[in-house]
Structure 1
Amino acid sequence: MKLIFAGTPQVAVPSLEELLRAGFTVCAVLTREDAPVGRKKVLTPSPVAAAAERLGIPVIKGNRIDVRVIDLIASYTPDVAAIVAYGGIVPGKALDLPIHGWVNLHFSLLPSWRGAAPVQHALMSGDDITGASTFLLEEGLDTGPVFGSVTETVLPTDTSGVLLERLSHSGAVLLAQTLDAIGQGRAHPVTQQGAVSLAPKLTLEDGRIRWQEPAVAVRRRINGVTPEPGAWTLLDGERVKLGPVTPRPEITELRPGAVETSGRRVVVGTGSGAVELGLIQPSGRRMMDAADWIRGAANQELIFT
């Protein structure tokens, strides 16, 4: 089958590469336009655009699937379109272009966590199992019938970045298998069943740590927002970024947000027990080990808010 591949971030690249390995003809790639990156705001192609150029595949760039993009897609007469984290809505006029429609790889077990940030919300909610699903795209938000799914155990140390990396590879195989089944006429999508939960895009405020929450909830929030939008708290009115933490339930005397040393550990009180800090980035400084940071703040009362 000839297919169009739509995707933008790094987590979509394994799917593009897997489809090529599986023998599919990727006639073009649709991705978002070059975006400013780094402190110097250098316009940079998306990871999918860079991969497509490396692989010699024509690239269509557009932040919206407008008339221009629709005409370009139509010119390739694709049999099917595969979409992985493209970052834009596929309008009704584009949905009918491929013979077999658009097949979306979504990083959750639908209908759980429909939306832009499924892995982040799964971690923040404390899910033990998550996964990836392929489904037939329709105009509703991740509502289409499901072709198949793979599951993934959530580890206590998983951040959204780490878990997405694993899912990007297992999901890529699932996507190739789904498209192969469609090409052979063996695919039979099933209407989604079960409780629906939504996973909207996270904001900067979602990354703010609530020290009054139990230690396990603090850890889940930090894991869920790492690396984006990032976990943070305030110290003397200035924003401080934090890396993943480890619960220390045996330490119970600290009030929420209070920072102390315990042996060689730097611990912070929560609503139940404490957590041990790993990495910390004070305002205007680099990310560093919490033990190095605390030495520079000796004899100060430290309270995160």
Structure 2
Amino acid sequence: MRVLFAGTPQVAVASLDRLVNDGFDVVAVLTREDAPVGRKRIMTPSPVAARAAELGIEIIHANRIGAETQERIAALDADIAAIVAYGGLVPEKALGIPRLGWVNLHFSLLPAWRGAAPVQHSIMAGDDITGAVTFQLEKGLDTGPVFGTLTEAIDPSDTAGELLGRLAVSGAVLLSQTLSGLDAEALVGVPQQGEGSYAHKLTLADGRIDWSAPALAIRRRINGTTPDPGAWTELEGQRFKIGPPVPAEDIGSLAPGQVMITGGKQPRVVVGTGSHGLELAQVQPPGKKMMNAADWARGMLASGTVDEVKFA
């Protein structure tokens, strides 16, 4: 089976590796163009492009699948296109170019969380179970018939990065099995059932913490936006990133946003919420790397301004 693989971020690399290792003829990789990375804004290939180069696979760089890109895809004579987090829409004209169309690996249990950030929204919503599906790409947004499904439990301590990392590995197996089943003409897509929900792409605003919300909701928002775009708050007009909090939820009673720093060799940082205090594990002050909250607390204790600390 001749396969065009479409993907861009690190989460898609496991699927590319799996298809190659399972013997599929990956004739080319479609990925987004090089993008600036880091403070120095160095133009950098996508993780999928970098891996394809290591594997010696032809790379098609395109942020949109226009007429020229469609011609290149058609010339590949691929049997099927496998798509994992490519980061762009596949136009209707391109859907029928591969003989068996496009199969998408999506990290949710469709029709739940259609869209760009399903894992993040699933954590923020407090779902107990998520998973991944393979489905036939069609004109609608993540609406096509489903070929295969796997489930994954969400631990209360899971961040989006951790959960997505597990799903990337198990989903790669599901994608390979789906392509094998389609090649053998042993799979038929099943229409999606039930009410759909939408997982919009997260922005910086989605990471802002509302300390008046209950501690559980805040924990879910922090975990769901870690590592990207990152959870954050403000202190004296400066933005502080906040890492996943300590699991315990029975700490103190403070006004929302009020910070209590305990003394001792291992100081604790507790912030008031709409329900009860929440202990922080990591804090990233402006211009610095993420640090242990206790280390940040020692600096605050040394400055003598502890009583004035309140996150906005």
Q: Tell me the residue number matched to 1:304.
A: 311
Structure 1 residue 197, shift from structure 2 partner = 0.7
Q: Tell me the residue number matched to 1:46.
A: 46
TM-score normalized with structure 1 length = 0.98
Correspondence list, 1:139-150, <5 A? 139-150=139-150
Correspondence list, 1:1-305, <5 A? 1-262=1-262, 264-298=267-301, 299-300=304-305, 301-305=308-312
1:2 and 1:54 map into 2 onto residues whose CA distance is 19
Structure 1 residue 251, shift from structure 2 partner = 2.4
Q: Which runs of 5+ in 1 are unaligned?
A: none
- Give the 3-state SS of the residue equivalent to 2:300 in structure 1: coil
Number of residue equivalences: 305
Instruction: State the one-letter code of the partner of 2:29.
Output: V
1:217 and 1:76 map into 2 onto residues whose CA distance is 48
1:146 and 1:274 map into 2 onto residues whose CA distance is 43
Structure 1 residue 247, shift from structure 2 partner = 4.7
Instruction: State the one-letter code of the partner of 2:206.
Output: D
Instruction: State the one-letter code of the partner of 1:96.
Output: G
Q: Quick check: 1:248–1:273 contact (8 Å CA) kept in 2?
A: no
1:186 and 1:218 map into 2 onto residues whose CA distance is 45
Instruction: State the one-letter code of the partner of 2:166.
Output: R
Q: Quick check: 2:111–2:194 contact (8 Å CA) kept in 1?
A: yes
1:104 and 1:295 map into 2 onto residues whose CA distance is 49
Q: Quick check: 1:219–1:246 contact (8 Å CA) kept in 2?
A: no
Structure 1 residue 147, shift from structure 2 partner = 0.5
Q: Quick check: 1:111–1:193 contact (8 Å CA) kept in 2?
A: yes
2:167 and 2:247 map into 1 onto residues whose CA distance is 26
- Give the 3-state SS of the residue equivalent to 1:150 in structure 2: strand
Q: Quick check: 2:13–2:51 contact (8 Å CA) kept in 1?
A: yes
Q: Which runs of 5+ in 2 are unaligned?
A: none
Instruction: State the one-letter code of the partner of 1:158.
Output: D
1:125 and 1:19 map into 2 onto residues whose CA distance is 33
Q: Quick check: 1:215–1:247 contact (8 Å CA) kept in 2?
A: no
Instruction: State the one-letter code of the partner of 2:102.
Output: W
- Give the 3-state SS of the residue equivalent to 2:141 in structure 1: coil
TM-score normalized with structure 2 length = 0.96
Q: Quick check: 2:268–2:297 contact (8 Å CA) kept in 1?
A: no
- Per-residue CA deviation, residues 165-222 of structure 1 (Å, 9 max, x unaligned), is 0000000000000000000001110000012110000111100001111111000000
1:152 and 1:262 map into 2 onto residues whose CA distance is 38
1:33 and 1:267 map into 2 onto residues whose CA distance is 43
Q: Answer with 87-96 or 275-284: which moved more.
A: 275-284
1:59 and 1:236 map into 2 onto residues whose CA distance is 47
Q: Quick check: 2:161–2:226 contact (8 Å CA) kept in 1?
A: yes
- Per-residue CA deviation, residues 5-58 of structure 1 (Å, 9 max, x unaligned), is 000000000000101111110000000000111111111110000100100100
Q: Quick check: 2:251–2:279 contact (8 Å CA) kept in 1?
A: no
- Give the 3-state SS of the residue equivalent to 1:246 in structure 2: coil
Instruction: State the one-letter code of the partner of 1:149.
Output: T
2:255 and 2:242 map into 1 onto residues whose CA distance is 19
2:260 and 2:248 map into 1 onto residues whose CA distance is 13
2:74 and 2:114 map into 1 onto residues whose CA distance is 28
- Per-residue CA deviation, residues 131-163 of structure 1 (Å, 9 max, x unaligned), is 001000001100001001100010111111111
Percent of aligned positions with the same letter in both sequences? 62
